[in-house]
Amino acid sequence: MSAPRLQIIVGSTRPGRRGPVIASWLHELAVKHAGFDTETVDLAEIGLPLLDEPRPPQRGQYEHSHTRRWSEIIRAGDAYVFVVPEYNHSYNAATKNALDFLAREWVAKPVAFVGYGGVAAGARAVQALIPVVTALGMVPLAGHVHIPFVRQSITSQGRFEPAPGLAENASGVLDELLRMTRVLAPSRPPAPVG
């Protein structure tokens, strides 16, 4: 049996963002974890416009090729980790837009978050995301990863250097994601035809 696919989704799309560096660190941890087939999905590379589908996403009748491509990417995932910044006590618009484009693709899949920012360590962004992903049928984990003062954790060479205990915290999140992926797999709706 093949390993379930974990998608690490980089939520920030702005120039100078720190999300890709953090996602790269998490990707390395997930590869060492060896429970998942892991890929990073960068919303800046996906390049979704603001939601422009004329029909509700619950129908799965997508008019635009960018939506069909996004649907295929997300449908292939079995579990997700969103790497998200905190902006103004919440999460960023590109993450919300990417979530709103789809519906059935997310259902009955576990999700965790790596929130980052200043003193609040992305905690408010994560708390704001939980009701959104729950409404989409995902199952958020109880534990997440929070990175305070993110600028101080990035070296002059552009690598993320986690604070003591952060890698262990992230490994625990990966363990729980794997467990929940196995629990939820039988309850997933069938993939849409066509």
Examine residue 193 and state whether it is found in any structural domain, yes or no: no
Write down the pLDDT at residue 190: 75
Nearest to 106 by CA among 139, 143, 69: 139
Would you state the pLDDT for residue 192?
59
Please state, in angstroms and rounded to a whole number, the distance separating the CA atoms of residues 131 and 65: 28
Name the stretches of the chain with pLDDT < 70: 1, 191-194
Specify the CATH number for the domain of residue 75.
3.40.50.360
In a domain, 154, yes or no: yes
**Domain presence at residue 98:** yes
Containing structural domain, residue 56 = 5-186
Domain count, the chain: 1
DSSP annotation string for the chain: -PPPEEEEEE---STT-SHHHHHHHHHHHHHHH-SSEEEEEEHHHH---S---SS-GGG----SHHHHHHHHHHHT-SEEEEEEE-BTTB--HHHHHHHHT-SGGGTT-EEEEEEE-STTTTHHHHHHHHHHHHHTT-EE-S--EEESSGGGGB-TTS-B-PPTTHHHHHHHHHHHHHHHHHHHGGGPPPPPP-
Residue 23 is assigned to a structural domain of this protein? yes
Q: Is the residue at 109 inside a domain?
A: yes
- For residue range 117-157, what is the model confidence (pLDDT) as tens digits? 999 999 999 999 999 999 999 999 999 999 999 999 998 88
Its pTM stands at: 0.95
Tell me whether residue 191 is in a domain: no
Model pLDDT, residue 193: 55
Within a domain: 58: yes
User: Locate tokens 């049928």: which residue?
Assistant: 137
Is residue 147 a part of any domain in this protein? Answer: yes
For 112-143, b/e burial (b = at least 16 CB within 10 A) is: bbbbbbeebbbbbbbbbbeeebeebbbbbbee
